[in-house]
Amino acid sequence: MSHEIYTAGILAFFALAAATYAEEPEGEAKDERVFEMRTYYAAEGKLDSLHARFRDHTTKLFERHGMTNLGYWSPIDNPDNKLIYILAYANNAAREKAWKGFMADPDWKKAAAASEANGRLVAKAESLFLRATDYSPEIKAEKVGDRAFELRVYTATKGNLDNLHGRFREHTCKLFTKHGMTHVAYFAVSDETPSGKKQDRAADTLVYILAHESVDAGKASFAAFRQDPDWLAAKGASETNGSLTTTPDGVKSTYMNATDYSPLK
């Protein structure tokens, strides 16, 4: 075999190997944890006391019982006195065990009783069980600085949730990055709760969180994003024949500030 043929063969081999390697996914394991987004509506005049209980007692007791505190936020515009937070658990069984232990913990009972001597702190509580999407970044608690967070909840039209996820996976996330937004987490709603109850929103809901330098920066980023020709092309391609991916009122945005005790800032 001539030197030239041998060299050409080697080069072709490495070119093929490089192309094959480049096409392969990075191989990162999908986050299989159970996530729970909890929304508390504080009783009138009790929001500060609720924050104090979380700051001084609740978050530490959650950790004691195996729960992972990810983020705690209050909406910037907060007429309903909301506290929104997200916990993570290894699996459904771990979630049930953790809450059973927490509720029976004498330290929790003592803290709850002391904080509610003059009335209950929580008027209403909501819970939504979530799973990380395959295109979500690593979901972790990290302190970056003074940022504005944005919780966005999308309701897909019937049968279009997979199409919505596909658009985010292939286009939207990259364009968010292009326009200066920071990805925090992307979630789908779990089919059922850890106790086995069905969740009605599993078939049509996407939940995600972004971070911005400020509220104004977030609004400016979205204004530029919506005018981006690449976004308009991707949106048009995903909504052929007038089939909207989200319902007409199916995009809800809430700007939030992280609490002083939030692990994620």
Mean pLDDT (whole number) for 167-176: 97
Angstrom distance (rounded) from CA 246 to CA 168: 13
Identify the band that residue 242 occupies on the pLDDT scale cut at 50, 70 and 90. low
Instruction: Give the DSSP per-residue string, 161-197.
Output: HHHHHHHIIIIIHHHHHHTT-EEEEEEEE-SB-TTS-
CA angle 90, 34, 131 (to 5 degrees): 140
Residue 19 has pLDDT above 50, yes or no: no
Mean pLDDT (whole number) for 54-74: 98
pLDDT at 243: 74
More confident residue, 242 or 42: 42
Identify the band that residue 29 occupies on the pLDDT scale cut at 50, 70 and 90. low
The average confidence (pLDDT) of the chain is 90
Angstrom distance (rounded) from CA 117 to CA 110: 11
Residue 7 has pLDDT above 80, yes or no: no
Residue with tokens 């308009």: 232
Q: How far is CA 76 from CA 39, 89, 163, in A?
A: 15, 28, 31
How are beta strands 82-89 and 182-189 bridged, if at all? unpaired
SS3 of residue 96 by DSSP: helix
CA angle 97, 36, 201 (to 5 degrees): 125
Mean pLDDT (whole number) for 242-248: 84
Residue 20 has pLDDT above 60, yes or no: no
- Whether residue 209 is contained in a domain is answered as yes
CA dihedral 215, 217, 219, 223 (to 10 degrees): 180
- Whether residue 4 is contained in a domain is answered as no
Identify the band that residue 10 occupies on the pLDDT scale cut at 50, 70 and 90. very low
Mean pLDDT (whole number) for 59-73: 98
More confident residue, 109 or 16: 109
Identify the band that residue 5 occupies on the pLDDT scale cut at 50, 70 and 90. very low
Angstrom distance (rounded) from CA 82 to CA 145: 22
- Whether residue 197 is contained in a domain is answered as yes
Domains identified in the chain, total number? 1
Q: What is the domain range of residue 207? A: 34-258
- Whether residue 2 is contained in a domain is answered as no
Residue with tokens 């001084």: 56
100-135, pLDDT tens digit by residue? 999 999 999 999 999 999 999 999 999 999 999 999
Please report, for the domain that includes residue 235, its CATH number.
Answer: 3.30.70.100
Query: Which residues make Cβ contacts (< 8 Å) with residue 150, sequence separation at least 6?
Result: 209, 210, 211, 212, 218, 253, 254, 255, 256
Q: Which two tokens stand for residue 39?
A: 């929304």
Q: Output the CA torsion sign for 149, 228, 167, 157.
A: positive
- Whether residue 27 is contained in a domain is answered as no
Instruction: Give the DSSP per-residue string, 55-82.
Output: IIIIHHHHHHTT-EEEEEEEESS-TT-E
Residue 27 has pLDDT above 80, yes or no: no
SS3 of residue 178 by DSSP: helix
pLDDT at 173: 98
pLDDT at 141: 93
178-232, pLDDT tens digit by residue? 999 999 999 999 999 998 999 989 999 999 999 999 999 999 999 999 999 999 9
Angstrom distance (rounded) from CA 215 to CA 251: 17
Residue 1 has pLDDT above 70, yes or no: no
Q: Running DSSP on this structure, what letter comes out for residue 117? A: T
- Whether residue 124 is contained in a domain is answered as yes
Identify the band that residue 65 occupies on the pLDDT scale cut at 50, 70 and 90. very high
- Whether residue 29 is contained in a domain is answered as no
- Whether residue 229 is contained in a domain is answered as yes
